[in-house]
């Protein structure tokens, strides 16, 4: 059954809005056939699939090095290995928890091809110094905006600054399709390669003619429809995140801990509300989680440093990443947290830390 033209036009408009809202970049492919090709899904680790396609789009493979933050979800590093390239870890900055540009500078070699800048827990990395380094050494920058949907860096949406932006729509993200993600780029060649490889290498000009060994990373129509509906609620979802963060910031003052950064050049989105305990204090992060669990409050630890994981051990020492991982606890952050629930979490944290 054919859809009425007005319905088709409406779907095209919403698809355009989906992509342009996410990245605010001049996408040249905003039409009914091309827009869905910017949206992909992986059969296995979805983040690894998204990063894998980003690396393929940039032509990165064996013999290349990619600089990855020492504190991030492991999928970024794993994708580099799957591509046949080498992971080079760099420490994060203590002020904003993104890559430290000086640490990146020290790790650039003639084999370096790309930098993965992660906007950790919803706060943007400091992109300008990283972009300057990348331009000087002719490197690509991949933004991992999985946890930072809607965040801005100096007025620009994250995911629109590097050569490639990656977004996750996994079930725990602010906007979700249940699983999957999206790649954004303004580079026509990267877009061409991503589209080719995400659809089993099928030649766009000749149906069932496969010209490379590709992958099945297509997002289903059902998931795409869910994503479009989520974008229509973006203002509400992001507003709820800011409301929750403001409540924590006000309610947890004067304790032996600090909350995640909010620097003057950033508009973070507080995917997670992070509490970092003072080192040398009376409690470890693990004990803090146990005491909150006894009160019926679920929390999460920070990510483990990538260098601590068995397959990446021996990568070096990364003091800032190690300290944050050791002392960090993620508090309840779901957008549907009611004021009474927030008050209960705040009261429990205050009781434990005073």
Check if the beta carbon of residue 9 is closer than 8 Å to that of residue 17: no
Q: What is the pLDDT of residues 68-114, one digit of tens each?
A: 999 999 999 999 999 999 999 999 999 999 999 999 999 999 999 99
Same domain flag for 124 and 101: yes
Residues 143 and 49 in one domain: yes
CB burial of residue 129 (10 Å; 0-12, 13-18, 19+): middle
Contact 162, 184 (CB under 8 A): no
pLDDT of res. 37: 37
Q: How many domains does the chain have?
A: 2
Q: Are residues 301 and 337 in the same domain?
A: yes
First to last CA, the chain: 65
The three-state secondary structure class of 280 is coil
Q: How far apart are CA 67 and CA 352, in angstroms?
A: 39
Neighbours of 94 (CB within 10 A): 13
Q: Are residues 154 and 34 in the same domain?
A: yes
Residue reference for tokens 């993600």: 181
Q: Report the alpha-carbon distance of residue 84 to residue 88 in Å, rounded.
A: 13
Segment 26-30 long-range contacts (CB within 8 Å, at least 24 positions apart) = 26/186, 27/184, 27/186, 28/186, 28/188, 28/191, 29/191
pLDDT of 118-145, one tens digit each?
999 999 999 999 999 999 999 999 999 9
Distance, in Å, from the CA atom of 234 to the CA atom of 241, rounded to the nearest integer, reads 11
Q: What are phi and psi of 242, to 5 degrees?
A: -65, -40
- Same-domain pairing of 151 and 167: yes
Residues 196 and 298 in one domain: no
What span, in angstroms and rounded, lies between the C-alpha atoms of 52 and 82?
7
Same domain, residue pair 46 and 58: yes
Rg (CA), the chain: 21
174 and 62 in a common domain: yes
| Domain stop point among 232, 247, 280 | 232
The predicted pLDDT at position 77 comes to 96
**Confidence at residue 9, expressed as pLDDT on a 0 to 100 scale:** 41
Return the CATH number at 279. 3.90.1150.10
pTM equals 0.87
Alpha carbon separation from 180 to 33, 235, 277, 292 (Å, rounded) = 19, 21, 33, 32
Full domain range(s) for residue 15: 5-232
Q: Per residue in 213-238, pLDDT tens?
A: 999 888 888 888 888 888 889 899 99
CATH no. for residue 139? Answer: 3.40.640.10
pLDDT tier at 35 (50, 70, 90 boundaries)? Answer: very low
Domain end: 232, 257, 279, which one? 232
Residue 247 and residue 202 share a domain? no
Question: What is the distance between the alpha carbons of residues 326 and 286, in angstroms, rounded to a whole number?
Answer: 8
Q: To the nearest whole percent, how much of the chain has pLDDT over 90?
A: 70
276 and 220 in a common domain: no
Q: Give, for 184, the enclosing helix (H) or strand (E).
A: strand 181-184
> How far is Cα 169 from Cα 271, in angstroms, rounded to an integer?
12
- When pLDDT is averaged across residues 30-42 and rounded to a whole number, the result is 36
């Amino acid at each position: 059954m054919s859809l009425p033209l007005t319905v088709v036009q409406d779907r095209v408009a919403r698809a355009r809005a989906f992509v342009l809202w996410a990245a605010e970049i001049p996408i040249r492919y905003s039409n009914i056939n091309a827009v869905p090709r910017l949206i992909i899904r992986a059969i296995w680790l979805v983040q690894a699939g998204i990063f894998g396609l980003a690396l393929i789009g940039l032509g990165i493979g064996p013999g290349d090095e990619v600089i990855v933050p020492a504190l991030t979800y492991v999928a970024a590093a794993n994708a580099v290995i799957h591509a046949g390239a080498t992971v080079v870890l760099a420490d994060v900055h203590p002020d904003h928890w993104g890559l430290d540009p000086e640490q990146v500078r020290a790790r650039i070699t003639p084999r370096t091809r790309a930098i993965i800048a992660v906007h950790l827990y919803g706060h943007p990395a400091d992109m300008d110094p990283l972009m300057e380094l990348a331009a000087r050494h002719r490197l690509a920058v991949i933004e991992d905006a999985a946890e930072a949907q809607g965040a801005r860096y100096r007025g620009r949406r994250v995911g629109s600054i590097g050569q490639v932006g990656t977004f996750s729509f996994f079930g725990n993200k602010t906007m979700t399709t249940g699983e999957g993600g999206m790649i954004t780029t303004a580079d026509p060649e990267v877009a061409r390669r991503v589209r080719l490889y995400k659809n089993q290498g099928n030649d766009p000009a000749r149906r069932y003619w496969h010209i490379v060994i590709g992958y099945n990373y297509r997002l289903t129509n059902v998931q795409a429809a869910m994503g479009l509906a989520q974008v229509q609620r973006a203002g509400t979802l992001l507003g709820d995140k800011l409301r929750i963060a403001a409540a924590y910031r006000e309610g947890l003052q004067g304790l032996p801990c600090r909350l995640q950064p909010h620097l003057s050049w950033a508009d973070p989105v507080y995917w997670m509300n992070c509490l970092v305990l003072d080192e040398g204090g009376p409690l470890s992060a693990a004990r803090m989680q146990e005491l909150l669990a006894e009160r019926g409050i679920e929390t999460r630890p920070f990510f483990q440093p990538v260098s601590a994981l068995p397959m990446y051990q021996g990568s070096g020492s990364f003091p800032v990443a190690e300290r944050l991982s050791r002392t960090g606890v993620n508090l309840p952050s779901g957008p549907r947290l009611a004021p009474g629930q927030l008050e209960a979490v705040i009261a429990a944290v205050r009781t434990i830390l005073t």
